[in-house]
Structure 1
Amino acid sequence: MTKFVELNVRSEIGELEGVILHTPGSEVENMTPENAERALYSDILNLSVARDEYKQLTGVLSEISETYQVKDLLANVLADDKIKEVIIDKICAMEPQISVKGNTHCIKDLLLEQNPMDLASLLIEGVPLKRDNLTKFMSKERYAIRPLHNFFFTRDASMSVLDEVLIGKMASSVRDRESLIMQAIFDYTPGFKTKTVNPIDNPAMDPNCTIEGGDLLIARDDIMIIGNGTRTSTQGIDFILAQLLCQKEKKQRHLLIQELPSHPESFIHLDMVFTLLDVDKCMVYEPLIIRPNKYQTVHITIENGKVVSIKHENNLLQALKKLGMDLKPIYCGGNGDPWNQEREQWHSGANFFAVGPGKVIGYGRNIYTMEEMNKNGFEILRAKDIIRHKVELSDYDKYVITLEGSELPRGGGGARCMTMPVRRKPVNW
C-alpha cells in the first residue's frame, strides 16, 4: 500500500473511494460436508466457479474505486519482524488446536520461518496438521490452524464508523482470527489513518457481547442502524452505544435497532433484509421491515454523550422518516408474491452494496428484485459488460450492476457482505 488513506465513512451510499476485499482462496474449499456447519456454511462451494464470480466484483470495483486485498495488506504488515512475532503470539494463544502445551513452540517456529506472503496465506488458508505423534496421527483434524472459510465476507470482522474502525466481536470463535487480522492491518499499516476500537480490549466488556459488520449500517453521520439477532447481541449494541456513539462530538445522535428472527439462517444480518440504495430509496424484505410482526424496532437518542430516550417505533422506515430520511421502499422479490420474496431474500436479494447514491451492486439471479429496481428508475447493467468496457457507467445516473451468482450466494451473503469500505465522499442530502 503506497497511498495514505484517511478513513471516513459517514453513509452507506456516499461515492466510494476505497474498499477492502478478499478474493476467495483455498480456504473456501478446505472443508467437507461433515465440517461445513462448523465453518458456518450450509453447503460446500466450488472454488473455481466462486472465484470467477468474485472476479466480476473486483473487476467492477477496480473501475470505480481504490481496492485493497486483505492478503496483500496483511503481508505488508508481516514484513516487520517485531509485528510479525506479536501477531503470531496472539494467534498461537487464541487457537484451540495449538494452545495445548507442547504444540505452540513448534507451530510458532514454523510460522516465523515463513516469508510475509506465504505466512499471510497460511494464516488465512490454514496450517496443515503435522502428524508427528500418535495423537496427531489419529486426530480427525486436518489443520493445526483452521482455514478462515468466511473471510471473503470482509464486512463482518471490521466496520468503518465515521473516522474509526470498530473491530468485530464475532458470534462464532471460528471467525476470531479474522478480527485479529483486520485489527493488525489497521493498527500497523502506516497508510491507514484511523483508530481501532475492539471490545475485547475493554476490561468492562460484557462476556455476551457480539458484534458483526453485516448488522451495522451508517445511514447518515448522525444515524446508525443496527440489527439485533444471532450475530449481534444487545450487549454488543450497548458497547457501541457507550464506547462509540457517546464518545463522539457532542451532538445529537440516533441509534435505530431492528430485532431479527433467529431462523432461518438467511436472516443472519440486518443487511440481508434491509440496505440503503439512494438518498430517497432503500431495499427491504417487506414481511419483516414493513409488515406488522413481533420483531421490535427501538430508537435510542443520544445528546451530549448521554442517552436521553429509548422508545419503540412502528418500523424502521417510519423511524427514519421522523429523522428526515423519507425513503421509498423497493421490495426484495417484487411487490406481490410472498413466495418470490422469500426465495430471493434467501439468495441475498436484499443485500446491495452502494458505490454512490443510486449506484449499487447486487446479484442478477434475483430477477423479481431486479424488475422492481428497474421500475424504480435503476438501469440494469451486467458486471461483465462494464469490465469489458462495453458499457460506460458515466452514461447512467442510477444503476444496478449485476453479478453472476451461482456459487457465491451459497456462502450466505451478497455484495455488501463481501466489501469493507474505508472511505466515501460526503452525500448531498
Structure 2
Amino acid sequence: METIERAKTKEDLTRKNNVLNVTSEIGRLKTVLLHRPGQEVENLTPELLERLLFDDIPYLKVAQEEHDAFAKTLRDCGVEVLYLEGLAAEAIGDKDVKAKFISQFIDEAGVESEGLKAALTEYLNTFSNKEMVDKMMAGIRKEELDSYIRNSLYDQVNDFYPFICDPMPNLYFTRDPFATIANGITLNHMRTQTRNRETIFAKYIFENHPRFKDKDVPLWFNRDETTSLEGGDELILSEKVLAIGISQRTDSASIEKVCKRLFQMNTNFETVLAFHIPASRAFMHLDTVFTMVDYDKFTIHPEIEGPLTVYEITRDKKSASGLKVEKQTMELEAVLEKHLGRKVTLIRCGGGDKIHAAREQWNDGSNTLAIAPGEVVVYSRNHVTNKILESYGIKLHVIPSSELSRGRGGPRCMSMPLYRENL
C-alpha cells in the first residue's frame, strides 16, 4: 500500500510540474486535444478536394454526431477532453495578442491586397473570440465581405475564386499540426500550405494560454523551419525510443533537427528510429500503417512488414552533428523486438486478406488510439480487423465512423494526447 501511495504522489508531482507528459503510445490517457468538425467541412466542394487534401465530402451533421460519440467515449474512460477551438479562443484574450493573431492569420492566408487586409481585419473583429476562431477555421467567402469594393489589380484578377481565406477541413486530425513528446512538443511545419496554416492555433495556445504559457514547454521543432514534419509520423515506442517516418509528409532533415534537440536537452530518449516508408497517399503517415495497441502488440498494414530501411539515430558526442546514424535493413518485427527488448505480435489489418485489408486500410483499420495498454478506440466500419484485435485480447471502444472516415484518418489521427501516465 505504501508503495502504491508513493507512486501516486510521484505521478501527482509530475502532473503538477509538467502540463505535458507523453512517454509512450499506450500509457493511460489522461488529457487529449480534439477539434470538433465545423463549417470548414461545409465549405468543401468537389473542385476543392485535391487542393484541400480530401477524397470525399463528409456530411457534417453526422460527422459531428460521430465526433461527439468519440469525445464521450474518451470522457467515459476518465479522459479530460480539450478542444483546439476553445483553447485558441482563450489564448487571445489580450487585445494585443488578438491583433497580432489576426494579422498573422491574414498574412498566412495569402491575402495580398492591403485594402482587403484592412476590410478582413475589421470583419473578424466583429466576432467574439470563439466565433472568430470558428470563422477562421471555416474559411471566409468573398460574399461575406459584400461591401468591400475590389479596385486593386490583385482583387480583380483573383475575383473568380470563392474564398478570401481557404477553409481548414483537415483540422479535426489534431495529431498533425503539433505532437507531444515527453514534456515538450514539435510545433510542426506541414508539407502543404493548406495544412501549414493550421499550426498557427497551436503556436498561440502554447505561447499565450494560461494553462501553458508559464510552463516553459520545450520546442523540439518549430513551425518556422523550412523542412516539413507532421505529427502522424511521430510514434513514441517507449520512454527511450522514438519512431519517426520519413514519408510523403516528413523530411529526413526534420528528423535530424528533432534528434539534436531531444539529445541536447538530455531527455530520456536514447534512440530515434527513422522509418523510410513509401511517399504515397496510401502511406501518408507512419501511423496510417502502424500503431501500438499493447506492450507487445501492433496493428499494421501488411505492406509495412518489410524488409524496411530503418535509420538508427543515437547520440555521438564525437560527431560534428552530435548524432550517430546507422542504416539498417530489417523486418518490422525484428526492429521492434530489438528496441523494445521483447517478443512482439503484429496484427495485420483485415487479417492480411487482400480484399479485407485493402478495404479496411482505406478506412484506417491500422490507425487506433490506445487509451491504456491493451485498450483502444477503433472505427466501427473496420469490423474484420476489430474482430481480430478482440481475438488477441484487446479491449475495444468502437465508435461510429461512416462520415469521419471520409477524411482518411482514424482515431489516432483525430486526437493529440497531452498527458499520459508513465508505464
CA separation in 2, counterparts of 1:287 and 1:115?
48
CA separation in 2, counterparts of 1:31 and 1:420?
24
CA separation in 2, counterparts of 1:152 and 1:251?
31
After TM superposition, the score normalised by the length of structure 1 is 0.87
Which amino acid letter does the alignment assign opposite residue 282 of structure 1? F
Match of 1:224 in 2: 242
User: How far apart are residue 52 of structure 1 and its match?
Assistant: 1.4
Instruction: Name which of 232, 250, 260 aligns with 1:214.
Output: 232
1:200 to 1:151, Cα distance in 2 relative to 1, 3 A? closer
User: How far apart are residue 7 of structure 1 and its match?
Assistant: 0.5
Structure 1 vs Structure 2: percent identity of aligned residues?
31
CA separation in 1, counterparts of 2:156 and 2:40?
21
Q: Is 1:199 the equivalent of 2:222?
A: yes
- After superposition, residues 25-424 of structure 1 pair within 5 angstroms as 25-63=38-76, 64-96=78-110, 98-129=111-142, 130-131=145-146, 132-134=148-150, 135=155, 139-192=159-212, 193=215, 194-201=217-224, 205=225, 207=226, 209-242=227-260, 244-249=261-266, 253-263=270-280, 265-288=281-304, 290-292=305-307, 295-303=308-316, 306-323=322-339, 324-335=341-352, 337-378=353-394, 399-424=395-420
Give the RMSD, CA atoms, in angstroms: 2.0
CA separation in 2, counterparts of 1:142 and 1:274?
38
Do the aligned partners of 2:363 and 2:408 also contact (CA within 8 Å) in 1? yes
Q: Is 1:21 the equivalent of 2:44?
A: no
CA separation in 2, counterparts of 1:77 and 1:99?
27
CA separation in 2, counterparts of 1:354 and 1:332?
16
User: How far apart are residue 113 of structure 1 and its match?
Assistant: 3.5
Match of 1:381 in 2: none
Which amino acid letter does the alignment assign opposite residue 413 of structure 1? G
User: How far apart are residue 250 of structure 1 and its match?
Assistant: 6.8
Which amino acid letter does the alignment assign opposite residue 81 of structure 2? T
Where 1:6 maps in the other structure, the secondary structure is coil
1:122 to 1:137, Cα distance in 2 relative to 1, 3 A? farther
- Superposed CA deviations along residues 145-202 of structure 1, whole A, max 9, x for unmatched, are 221110000000010011111111111101122101111111111212323454344x
Which amino acid letter does the alignment assign opposite residue 92 of structure 1? I
Larger proportion of helix? 2
Which amino acid letter does the alignment assign opposite residue 265 of structure 2? K
Do the aligned partners of 2:306 and 2:330 also contact (CA within 8 Å) in 1? no
- Superposed CA deviations along residues 342-376 of structure 1, whole A, max 9, x for unmatched, are 22111100000010111100112112211211211
Do the aligned partners of 2:246 and 2:252 also contact (CA within 8 Å) in 1? yes
After TM superposition, the score normalised by the length of structure 2 is 0.88
Q: How many residues align?
A: 393
Which amino acid letter does the alignment assign opposite residue 240 of structure 1? V
Structure 1 unaligned segments of length 5 or more: list them. Answer: 379-398
User: How far apart are residue 136 of structure 1 and its match?
Assistant: 5.6
